[in-house]
Structure 1
């Protein structure tokens, strides 16, 4: 009997040939190509849509429960409400339905043009519903950072070729300013022009009674309209078709638009289900039988947030309590008030909770697990929070590894699973379900022997098809078809555990968010007074030991800059960056004038050399940059 990928039972997630978590023993080897101890993905229908993966049409909904809760106001959306609202909104979004917004058909890949809906909002209890309405309506969407400045939004709208937009009411002024920047016809850095139709802007309002705001229909008004429409039975299409776009900086430069197919999204959600099922079987617990309550702070537009809040809905009973913004005391209050069981975090938040004296004031005994992602988690940080959690059993907080280009690649496994050796902090664990890996010399592109450092290349159904309408950027991450060059330096040890060493990409991690050095450099060089003739930007140690970095700039002054002086120039450049870029891209590590910047004979900036010089100088001076 063939495996039923959509049946309402946990066995759907692992397939008939999945290794037994107790009896099966993974055997490390020295072959260059290595695979996940969890084995391959179970076979799935080729045209499956993400929405039907989460809500199989033949399966009845389980008993209702709170799905999303605003931790500040207690406003709640239950699972049944979520599904009904997603179906209603999908009827409105269908290009071949009544279509009150005049939406067109979406492209299936970047060879086509078509309707793409931008989602420009902070975390909100209705954001995941909009995503599922898009899946169900076969409407491609693109997640956009709510921290975007008008210039950044203008850029991303063009890179994603956004034609329509859902915008939180608080961000409407940013949209207005972005539209003032024009079509981009004079911008030679990209041929893509602004396509957003102001008549296709939807407003997400915190007041459900509003029908229109600033002349635009509200999301609630469209949901209400959708409830009056009849459902038209149809086979939803998915598979290799484009489902959504991520805002990604890729290897360098201003943000790019990264494509995610339905197959990608399904398998990203499936990975966490496989690990949960196999972990429960190892402990002798009925898989997925214990409801979980999650702290909701990871951004929904981020790949980490997509897995948590959108790609696993209805796959397990999970209630998410969303914080409108990060506040350590509100987080602790929410853990105690709602008896939260799981804390998905990023390294700076792990450290804040662990070190805050407020932690002692609140009852954290309900927490059965915490996890970290989006950036490297230092071992001392992993241990420090574990000591504060009564149910941690002394085990440090695990940290997963992934990229926007492949949401989940590796993670520590539960001790004893498949006979695997423990993966301590400082390692990124083992390849996740369905993944294959190679460790390659980034210069020669030849595999390195086991135990030597090299660039991690990854292959699997979670890997992006590439960057939207950007073949050059796509070619940079796929030297060989199907093999994603992660840009990260790793070491594969004798147990096939992966150790993260450094980034080969010119990217800076600030509180889990990516900063492209070239974007900040270009901004400095673009100052209207032409104060500098060369610039170098790199991430430097912030002195806090939380895995996050400060952005530091070294500049070579122009003649006009020399006349004005280093202090005046530094102040003007700092103010210009703050006007142009999001807060996490600000130059918190300082601006230093230098006579020249190191480059290779081919002209490539040696950012690491500048960073290392700075760290050596600080160490010699016996100071830390705080």
Structure 2
């Protein structure tokens, strides 16, 4: 194998020969249709590099030991050295061409092949990242499955991912049992894929490390103990363009799809923000990649969680304080107790922290930074939370941008680096290292000029090869080879900052004109009297059958809003929008005060759910709004 800088032990391994100097280089945007990252290209890497060997290069000694994961509830701790030893032991058990006590088959290299795919069906757990790295090291493909899945949803995903074996957290065994009762899916016309899970290959992730079995199934701990007695067989571990894992993705329609991530996708996603952090530190004249303590709440099965808890292990010294589930007071206690320095969040958690008086009870002075991802972050809460942290309102919470299909695409940059201006809330910043972008008219598929709205198309090593065994869905996101259609409406400005506007499918068409729901939501949240705590906007049936829609808002009011009463608040919000936005964006569908806005665990607003409930209510009442 050639000597690649990326396998060295020092942080400089992530700065390739074409990396720009952060203090001398000035980024100059132009009006060309295709634009690139100010950070330049990715550093070169070996063609067959495996994610595990990026994190643990085989010729490098481990650094001095430190706590890697700590359970915030039980205080159970896994150190870096323990993690690596346990990963190696479990990988010896998982390896198809070793002693192979589980009888696992070889995994597929692409979705043209069949083979062993291990489902990971668990909430966040202190040993989940170890299982993922054991899979990388043993070349066992895995599929991350949402722990919130119903039996039907689990049954669907098991078939879409063609799961042959599964690791299930002990608390989710009843869900798996109910899913298996649904059969192989022979009569399901929605997909030709059938249930092929081998019931002899069910492994349990148990909270008690002393258990060898649960419900007659072997535990992960028993397999680690078994692997510690097996010989290590020297071999080259392959990666590169081979499948590494599968994600759940909504893709272009409702039911989840299985989306492929290769080792190349995963390792480059893992180092993108590492590169930006190194360049930002060099620009500021400080040592890059200093140790950090991180609040761990983002789900590990999600692309955002994979980045944080799995793809960067041993790349930067990070002690991760894991919360099994979100608990506001436990999070605040953990920040104070462990002197947490960084808070990776999703918008609902940003909002909760920003608006909770509990934050006044705890010491948050250790927090150097916070960031949001996975969904759109309204500007108002980006400023509100920043005011409560040492950084102050002058540094509002930045919001990164990525998809399951391309985990990391854009992020705000350190103000001044490469001559770049600060990316304020409302934008998602600049393209990350190695990325290229275009803004395209979704109807004509022609590039649009700088400053105009269009669909965001991106290209780079982090982009998925496609959906697993679903050529139709893959063709829908790749109209042109290599260019991923994100399905998001954006505007690229003259500085090459990217302004996120909305999901294309959630655009509201009013008399032929497009309305971005987020623009109306932001206006409601910015009412000068602070009447609204949360807002959801969607298009509802106008009753005329002409395809045009009314714009309707559902709002959660603040204490100030409650004191004024529903009638006054609804009138004031209607007048505010009329005075601020164009006529086609007015709330012709009305305003409704609700107790809460439904969201997914990652923070994506369920506008469709609000709209469907409204339509169902209208139908029941036997009238339409005209």
Please report the TM-score for the alignment, with normalisation by the length of structure 2.
0.83
- Tell me if structure 2 keeps the 8 A contact 1:365–1:391: no
Alignment-derived partner of residue 65 in structure 1: 66
Residues 1:450 and 2:450 are matched in the alignment: yes
Partner secondary structure for residue 437 of structure 1: strand
Partner secondary structure for residue 154 of structure 2: helix
CA displacement 1:315-368 (0-9 Å, x = unmatched): 010010011110111110000010000000001100101110100000000000
Alignment-derived partner of residue 555 in structure 2: 543
Aligned-partner Cα distance in 1 for 2:183–2:424: 51
- Map 1:285-324 to 2 at 5 A: 285-288=286-289, 290-324=290-324
Residues 1:174 and 2:197 are matched in the alignment: no
- Tell me if structure 2 keeps the 8 A contact 1:342–1:367: yes
Aligned-partner Cα distance in 2 for 1:313–1:384: 32
Aligned-partner Cα distance in 2 for 1:495–1:588: 37
Aligned-partner Cα distance in 1 for 2:267–2:490: 27
Alignment-derived partner of residue 384 in structure 2: 384
Aligned-partner Cα distance in 1 for 2:215–2:608: 32
Aligned-partner Cα distance in 1 for 2:460–2:550: 31
5+ residue gaps, structure 2? 508-516, 519-537, 539-547, 559-603
CA displacement 1:63-119 (0-9 Å, x = unmatched): 000000000110000000000000000000011111111110000010000000000
Instruction: Note the C-alpha offset of 1:393.
Output: 6.7
Alignment-derived partner of residue 592 in structure 1: 615
Partner secondary structure for residue 5 of structure 2: coil
Alignment-derived partner of residue 396 in structure 1: 396
Alignment-derived partner of residue 605 in structure 1: none
Partner secondary structure for residue 491 of structure 1: strand
Alignment-derived partner of residue 113 in structure 2: 112
Alignment-derived partner of residue 40 in structure 1: 41
Alignment-derived partner of residue 436 in structure 2: 436
Aligned-partner Cα distance in 2 for 1:583–1:500: 15
- Tell me if structure 1 keeps the 8 A contact 2:87–2:134: yes
Alignment-derived partner of residue 582 in structure 2: none
Alignment-derived partner of residue 427 in structure 2: 427
Instruction: Note the C-alpha offset of 1:505.
Output: 3.3
- Tell me if structure 2 keeps the 8 A contact 1:295–1:344: yes
- Tell me if structure 2 keeps the 8 A contact 1:368–1:392: no
> Runs of 4+ in structure 1 displaced over 3 angstroms?
505-509, 536-542, 582-589, 593-596
- Tell me if structure 1 keeps the 8 A contact 2:70–2:321: yes
- Map 1:91-106 to 2 at 5 A: 91-106=92-107
Residues 1:262 and 2:263 are matched in the alignment: yes
Aligned-partner Cα distance in 1 for 2:495–2:161: 41
Alignment-derived partner of residue 163 in structure 2: 162
Instruction: Note the C-alpha offset of 1:488.
Output: 0.4
- Map 1:77-476 to 2 at 5 A: 77-288=78-289, 290-392=290-392, 394-476=394-476
- Tell me if structure 2 keeps the 8 A contact 1:252–1:506: no
Aligned-partner Cα distance in 2 for 1:538–1:21: 48
Instruction: Note the C-alpha offset of 1:593.
Output: 3.7
Aligned-partner Cα distance in 2 for 1:438–1:199: 48
Partner secondary structure for residue 543 of structure 1: strand
- Tell me if structure 1 keeps the 8 A contact 2:122–2:168: yes
Instruction: Note the C-alpha offset of 1:122.
Output: 0.2
- Tell me if structure 2 keeps the 8 A contact 1:252–1:505: no
Aligned-partner Cα distance in 2 for 1:545–1:435: 40
Partner secondary structure for residue 467 of structure 1: coil
Aligned-partner Cα distance in 2 for 1:413–1:335: 25
Seen in structure 2, the aligned counterparts of structure 1 residues 506 and 216 have a Cα distance that, compared at 3 Å, is farther
Instruction: Note the C-alpha offset of 1:441.
Output: 0.2
Instruction: Note the C-alpha offset of 1:29.
Output: 0.4
Say how many residue pairs are matched.
540
- Tell me if structure 2 keeps the 8 A contact 1:410–1:429: yes
- Tell me if structure 2 keeps the 8 A contact 1:455–1:489: yes
Seen in structure 2, the aligned counterparts of structure 1 residues 82 and 539 have a Cα distance that, compared at 3 Å, is farther
Partner secondary structure for residue 505 of structure 2: coil
Please report the TM-score for the alignment, with normalisation by the length of structure 1.
0.83
Aligned-partner Cα distance in 2 for 1:249–1:595: 28
Partner secondary structure for residue 207 of structure 2: coil
Instruction: Note the C-alpha offset of 1:270.
Output: 1.1
Seen in structure 2, the aligned counterparts of structure 1 residues 583 and 392 have a Cα distance that, compared at 3 Å, is closer
Aligned-partner Cα distance in 2 for 1:591–1:378: 24
CA displacement 1:25-77 (0-9 Å, x = unmatched): 00010000000000000111000000000000000000000000000110000
Aligned-partner Cα distance in 1 for 2:31–2:3: 34
5+ residue gaps, structure 1? 510-516, 518-535, 547-581, 597-612, 618-626
